[in-house]
Structures are given as C-alpha cells and as structure tokens.
Amino acid sequence: MTSLIGEFDCKVDAKGRFMFPVNLRKQLEEVFDKGFVINRNLHQKCLVLYPINEWNKLNKKLSKLNRLIKANDVFVRKFTGGATAADADNTGRVLLPKPLVEYAGISSDIKVLGSNNVIEIWDKTLYDQFLSQDVDIEQLAQDVLGNLNFNDGDDE
C-alpha cells in the first residue's frame, strides 16, 4: 500500500458524517471501495481509520496472542472494543460512530491526516493543541530513527 500523506480540513455534519478528502481517496484508489475499520488511537484523543487490508494485517497479528494470558486478553479487548466497520456512501461521506466521536472530542471541524498506512481523524482544536506542544523534534527524531540504517537498500 502507498504511504498515505496529506492534511485536510473537513466538516462533520449533524449526522456525524464527513466528506472523505478527494486527494486521500485517490491515494487509496485500489482499496477505497473495500471499506475501513475505525477505532480509537492508543496514544492520543483521535480516531484511526484503517483501510480494511491494513486492519486485517493488524488483526491477524493480534489473533496470534495467547488470550489465556491476562495482559494479552485485556489488551485485545481494549484495543478492538471500539473498532467499527466504516464505508463511504455513494457521495464519499463516512459516518463516524457516536461513541468514537465522543471519545475523540470531535466537533464539527476536523483534521483528516494521511499517516503512513492509516488515516487519523482529529478534532481541529485538539490537533492544533497537539501541534503546539513543546517537543524537541530533533531529539525525538534521534531517539526514534537514530538506530535505523537509511542506506541499507531496502527501499521497497
């Protein structure tokens, strides 16, 4: 799958639907009509929209966890508990489930972000607050990427 990119301002209507950004739809051309799964983000008050093929890959890994181990069982339940199938209607709108909207504090103005293999959906105000956090991005890059070899020829 292509690495999804872009940041889009969208509006949520009274029924909880938003118009899926055309640019992101083009990036998802081959999988858009297969549907999505929407869920809570683990670390931030936002939602994650997984193209169904990405959700299936993740779910396959989760299914290998031994559910007789309490931590595994609790994690799988907490992580998948809010997961909801989501499809675009014939006009390109996607319905956001009310419990997930409440979790993410979503109002009418949202940010929709291509974020590698998934799409993040944020309340615009919360996203702006997240961006304004004082983070040393240089140190963060070193911590996260410092041990990766970008010259290993593994481009594909």
| Among candidate residues 8, 43, 5, 15, the one with its CA nearest the CA of residue 101 | 15
pTM of the model: 0.89
Please report, in tens digits, the pLDDT of each residue of the chain (156 residues total): 569 999 999 999 999 999 999 999 999 998 999 999 999 999 999 999 999 999 999 999 999 999 999 999 999 999 999 999 999 999 999 999 999 999 999 999 999 999 999 999 999 999 999 999 888 888 888 888 888 877 766 655
* CB neighbour list of residue 37: distance below 8 Å, 6 or more residues apart: 49, 50, 52, 55, 83, 84, 85, 86
**Model confidence pLDDT, tens digit, residues 45-88:** 999 999 999 999 999 999 999 999 999 999 999 999 999 999 99
Report how far residue 49's alpha carbon sits from residue 86's, in angstroms, rounded to the nearest whole number: 8
Domains of the chain: 7-144 (3.40.1550.20)
- Least Cα distance to 16 among 107, 127, 122, 126 occurs for 107
CB atoms within 10 A of CB 40: 19
